[in-house]
Amino acid sequence: MTDQGRHLTAISIAAAVAIAGSVFKVCDQQLYMIAAAIIGGEYGLARSAPTVTSNNHPVTINQESRGQG
């Protein structure tokens, strides 16, 4: 799963938990806290993830001898 897919999945789970808390009105404060923890944790993981940079530039080496003469 890509990072974007993981982020969207976590946010949708948090949204579902918050909606469940507002619809059922059972332990709604705890469900809001769980949703906030999921979103906060996901934000923290996204901010602490290492940035990967790729350098895919083609490299050519000139092996032709220069006139050392």
Q: Which of 34, 32, 46, 39 is nearest to 2 (CA)?
A: 46
Distance of alpha carbon 8 from its chain centroid, rounded?
9
For 6-62, the pLDDT digits (tens) are 888 988 999 998 888 888 888 888 888 999 998 888 888 777 766 666 777 777 777
* pTM of the predicted protein model: 0.58
Percentage above 90 pLDDT, the chain: 10
Tell me the average pLDDT of the chain: 80
Residue the block writes with tokens 């923890």: 37
